Structure 1
Amino acid sequence: MKINTDINILGGLPDWSLIKYYYDINYDHRSGKEETTLKTEKSIRRFKRAIEETFLSFKNEKSKILFDSLIRNDGVSKDFLYFLFWNASVNNELLHAVNRNVYFEAFYSGRAALRIDEVFSYLNELKSTEPQLQKWTQSTINTTASKYLTLLKKFGLLEGKQTKSILHPFLNDKMFIIFIYWITAIEQGPNLLKSEWLKYGFMETELLLERLKKKSFTDYFNIYYTGDNLKIETKIEFGKLYETITRN
């Protein structure tokens, strides 16, 4: 597993408009400093690297097109933040691992809250098998656990200060379609039912399958479901998807 401290850095990002700022390929540090509360060039470079590597890297051109359509049209909106969570999880293996083993375990078991000690315990467990994590101090582990919960809150997945209550997002039709296109773009396996990314749709598999069959989505994709195998064939060019959704 490739491990870095981006969770710590991004959990402390004070100005999320920097995401769009850097995405617009305007990397003038002086301008960036004027638009944010950041104090030094070193601070800006620190956030810039983490933003570019975890938020603004893309598995392929299709996922980049989806990201672009959302940030250009919606800005840093609730819908965009869901997609940002998906994309960041593809880029950051540690984030994805904690999501899979802590957040989604709580989410899909119907839990009401997520505790920092759960994240802390998982990171310490992971530390016993991951050489890169073994270099981290206990202080860094503690900070990562705290910043992880902060990140989920910023993504719109948790709420609260002391007790972090788990929110249960419902993807509107636009974001459901975009999620389906996203998962077909990043999943390399032949059977989507076995995809580790399926959980990122925030719904049980049975509900997802029911929703896929809605007639209103037939213009966007074909589904091939045999009970234990799911394949989805998209119908619209990725570059035209957002316009098509919002026009209909």
Structure 2
Amino acid sequence: MKVNSNINVLGGLPDWNLVNVFLERNMSSVRADGGLYSYTAIKTDKSVTRFENAISETLIRFANSEVETLVRTFLEEERLSNDALLLLFWNASFNNELLNYLNDQVYFVSFYSGKITIKQDEVLDCLKDLREREVDLKKWSESTIDRTASKYLTLLKKFNLMQGSVNKEIVHPYLNDKMFVIFVYWLKAIESRSNLLDSDWIKFSFCEPSIFVERLMHKKFSKYYELLYTGDKLKIQTLVPYSTIYNAIK
């Protein structure tokens, strides 16, 4: 597993408008185009550079051109809407192995078991268990592990997947029709398995696999994709180019 501190950095990011800034430019062009203060109230270049690295590595790094087109179009049209943050959560989870691991072992376990809250100690226990097996994590101090557990929950809150301050509660999102189609296109773009029923990413639809398949088969979505479902195999063929799917469903 590739481990970095981006969960800590993004959990502490005070100005998420920098996501859109760095989608279009880097620090060099920011300095040349009116300077740092034209874009953010964050005071030092060092801090902004640290945030730029985390944003570029986790939020706006793209597995392929289809994902890039999907994310760029969405952010250009909606900036940081709730739906855009959900798409960034999917993309960040694909890009950051530690984030995806915590999602798999903590967040989605709690989400699908019907729990109301996730405590920091649960994340902490998961990280300590992982540290026993991951060489890079063995280098982390107790304070770094503690901070990562805390910032992970804060990051979920920034994605609108949890709410509250001290005792954070799980939000149970329901994908509207637009986001359901966007999820299908994102899933098709990042999943290498031919049988989508084997995909570990289906849980990111926030519904059980059987419900996901049932919704896939609604006739109103037939203009966006074709599917082949045999009970134990699922294949999807998208019908609209990634460059125009956002405008086709908005």
Q: Is the TM-score greater than 0.5?
A: yes
RMSD: 1.0
The question of whether the paired residues in 1 share the 8 Å contact of 2:61 and 2:95 is answered with: yes
Match of 1:162 in 2: 166
Establish whether residue 42 from structure 1 lines up as the match of residue 46 from structure 2. Answer: yes
The question of whether the paired residues in 2 share the 8 Å contact of 1:23 and 1:56 is answered with: yes
Q: Can you give the 5+ residue segments of structure 1 that lack an aligned partner in the other structure?
A: none
Match of 1:103 in 2: 107
Deviations 1:79-136 (A, max 9, x none): 0000000000111000000000110000011111111101000000000000000000
Within-5 A mapping of 1:85-234: 85-234=89-238
2:130 & 2:106 partners in 1: Cα distance? 12
1:146 & 1:114 partners in 2: Cα distance? 11
Match of 2:73 in 1: 69
Establish whether residue 245 from structure 1 lines up as the match of residue 249 from structure 2. Answer: yes
Residue type of the alignment partner of 1:139 = S
The question of whether the paired residues in 2 share the 8 Å contact of 1:33 and 1:40 is answered with: no
Between 1:228-237 and 1:30-39, the stretch displaced more is 30-39
2:247 & 2:180 partners in 1: Cα distance? 15
Residue 243 of structure 1: how far off its partner (Å): 1.2
Residue 26 of structure 1: how far off its partner (Å): 5.1
Percent identical among aligned pairs is 48
Residue 228 of structure 1: how far off its partner (Å): 1.2
The question of whether the paired residues in 1 share the 8 Å contact of 2:21 and 2:39 is answered with: no
Tell me how many residue pairs correspond in the alignment.
Answer: 246
Residue 210 of structure 1: how far off its partner (Å): 1.1
2:41 & 2:6 partners in 1: Cα distance? 19
Match of 2:86 in 1: 82
Residue type of the alignment partner of 1:22 = F
SS at match of 1:238: coil
2:36 & 2:117 partners in 1: Cα distance? 36
2:158 & 2:45 partners in 1: Cα distance? 24
Establish whether residue 25 from structure 1 lines up as the match of residue 25 from structure 2. Answer: yes
Residue type of the alignment partner of 1:75 = R
Deviations 1:122-159 (A, max 9, x none): 00000000000000000000000000000000001000
TM-score by length of 1: 0.97
Deviations 1:187-232 (A, max 9, x none): 0011111111111111111111111111100000111111111111
Residue 31 of structure 1: how far off its partner (Å): 2.8
Residue type of the alignment partner of 1:179 = F
1:19 & 1:228 partners in 2: Cα distance? 39
SS at match of 2:180: helix
Between 1:141-150 and 1:19-28, the stretch displaced more is 19-28
1:244 & 1:38 partners in 2: Cα distance? 37
